Structure 1
């Protein structure tokens, strides 16, 4: 049941372990760096809004994770496979606005996890926490307009495309990217949830 009032602000910034059929989410820290380094390729980090690690080493990935965790109004979860415990990406409340009852979700998955049940289940777990535990009224996503795969994923999710923020963010290589904004509102969550649950049940 979705709470009528938002949870306490401190609860929005906690990172409990969230368990699904295929994955579990836990607080992202430097212990996940080696798995992420081993599974990443150049495409993994090419369009990240905050940039990626400075080089393809576990040490650089650990530094990158530390920088993500230091950002304000943000908490990061490692996405780990239930069977092996291997970290295959991260999913974040990349912006938390407790007073306005919304959060933004951002995801980075390693190539081996793309196109599997990992993405819909990770989103299902984090969106369910936002709407059903924290009392969010809105969850939003911002996608680089160049990232056709992520835009298709948002459309498959059932999120509403609200518009494009033109030259919204200058990424580390100096490019001023356009960000496409999608959202799901509290009243839309049951239908989106059902779609995600169906995908999790039918994908491997």
Structure 2
């Protein structure tokens, strides 16, 4: 039961273990993943990211972007790698981790070829399972650009609770002050959300 999980140490919260599912593996994000991300990305891939994306569509720019993400405090970044091909198709992160308050934000960026597949639900399942069942989190939350209708739908499909909108909360590198829609899953809600994600992945096997 997740309610029996004691809070993990601060060091554990900031570890980057390799997490493996049926379709993907999550591993620490590094500039070595830049080639796959550059090859598979398009303009929509980074359009709604709160911190923007690489400055140009080159492998070097993606490597610099990854280095910047990894330098941010209270953040752990994972590359999302397909098991069947070995190709990296995105990244998923714990950001703004608060060990004392036992919560973390999760943010996801997937390449177009991985959207609408098992990748997103399994990446969420792996990272949320670690948060609630290993780290002892009380809460996981998500902030979505209000313009990003696809991601808003995905949050509702996940079973996360929409808490509200933080108006002009985050200023992107292009100067646009985006409204961020906040969704969350609490410890007591996790079993139902987990079951929903497992059911979605089970349907992919059939």
TM-score, normalising length from structure 2? 0.97
Per-residue displacement from partner, 1:92-150 (whole Å, max 9, x unpaired)?
00220000000000000000000000000000000000000000000000000000000
- Is there any run of 5+ residues in structure 2 with no aligned partner, and where? none
1:83 is displaced (CA, Å) by 1.2
- Deviation per residue, 1:24-59 (Å, 9 max, x gap): 000000110000000000000111111100111111
CA contact (8 A) 2:5 2:133 kept: no
How far did 1:203 drift? 2.9
Moved more, 149-158 or 50-59: 50-59
CA–CA separation in structure 2 for the residues paired with 1:203 and 1:160: 25
- Matching residue of 1:68: 69
Task: Return the offset for 1:17.
Answer: 0.4
What SS does structure 1 have at the residue aligned with 2:117? Answer: coil
SS of the residue 2:84 aligns to? coil
Q: Structure 1 residue 85: deviation in Å? A: 1.3
Name the counterpart of 2:55.
54
The yes-or-no answer on 1:116 pairing with 2:145 is: no
Distance 1:127 1:43 in 2: 25
Structure 2 residue matching 1:203: 3-state secondary structure: helix
Aligned to 2:26: 25
Aligned to 2:139: 138
What does 1:188-203 correspond to in 2, within 5 Å? 188-203=189-204
CA distance in 2, matches of 1:95, 1:117: 26
For 1:84 and 1:4, locate their aligned partners in 2 and report how far apart those are by CA, in whole Å. Answer: 35
Paired residue for 2:156? 155
* CA deviations over 1:53-79 (Å, ceiling 9, x no partner): 011111110000000000000000000
Moved over 6 A (4+): none
Aligned pair count reads 204
* Structure-1-length-normalised TM-score: 0.98
The structural deviation recorded for 1:4 is 3.5
